[in-house]
Structure 1
């Protein structure tokens, strides 16, 4: 649009050069000059607003980028914290399992000693009691281990994961407990 006006103005200017003396007397010359002044005024007024709007947008984008960086750093810190808590919970679960194995072994040895003492008097009756005691002890130990492991896992997982992932991890941990206890 401006190019067409500029071309028209240039054509008028060359035509006016032919009639240099009459150029300022022509109404077309004054219309063209007035038009150029108005266009220059409008461009100057809108230019400031456009540049101001672009500057504001650039500042808003910079602020958004800074906010995004801060959120990313915070998320990374939280992730590292949750990973540390998860490692600690896994170590606690392993310690519980080790303790349960030691306790089960201790109880097994104790049961053997009791078995030898009572074999002489009531061999059949002693075998039944020891089997019941071992089964009960294993159930109790497994129950405690499961309860503690589930509570620790629930706390860590509840803070770091969504419901679907939590359910999958709890199921995997529960199904793996028999392997860890034997």
Structure 2
């Protein structure tokens, strides 16, 4: 068998090659192949661009959200610092108020104790005076009784002595 060349008319592979070239040529002439191919590529490129745009948008939203969270955190930290300072100031103020109240209470109790001491002194002085008056009245009565014992009893003197004892108390 002779070896036939690829370009001979009796070779079936030649006709397959011719049919394939004609098919692709027809597709090119009818603008099916480049249009479909470029259309598919354009559609795929459009999808990729849309996904990239969406990814960019998501990234921008995430960055905005991150900035918002950072701002909220900073605000919360400022508020916490303010609350801490206010609590310290309140604690200091309460401590000063408690100290003032304690000093005032100590002062009032000292004044009350001084008044009680003064009252006790006055009561003791009054008791001593009353005891001295009673003792003086008893002594005067004893002296007058001793002087008048030899004399007749005078009802007037007895009444005056009784009144004197009552008046001296």
The structural deviation recorded for 1:122 is 6.0
Q: Confirm or deny that 1:50 pairs with 2:48.
A: no
The structural deviation recorded for 1:63 is 0.1
Deviates more, 1:78-87 or 1:120-129: 120-129
The structural deviation recorded for 1:128 is 4.2
Give distance in 1, aligned partners of 2:119 and 2:109: 15
Higher RCO (CA < 8 A, seq sep 6+): 1
Give distance in 2, aligned partners of 1:28 and 1:98: 102
Tell me the residue number matched to 1:33: 59
> Which digits, 9 at most, give the CA deviation of each residue in 1:94-146, with x for residues without a partner?
111111111001111222233345553765445544554554554xxxxxxxx
Query: Structure 1 length normalisation: TM-score?
Result: 0.54
> Which digits, 9 at most, give the CA deviation of each residue in 1:25-55, with x for residues without a partner?
4433223212101101111222222211111
Alignment counterpart, residue 110 of structure 1, candidates 130, 136, 145: 136
Give distance in 2, aligned partners of 1:86 and 1:39: 68
Structure 1, gaps ≥5 residues long: 1-21, 139-182
Aligned residue pairs total 118
Alignment of 1:74-89 (within 5 A): 74-89=100-115
Alignment counterpart, residue 96 of structure 1, candidates 110, 116, 122: 122
Alignment counterpart, residue 60 of structure 1, candidates 68, 86, 92: 86
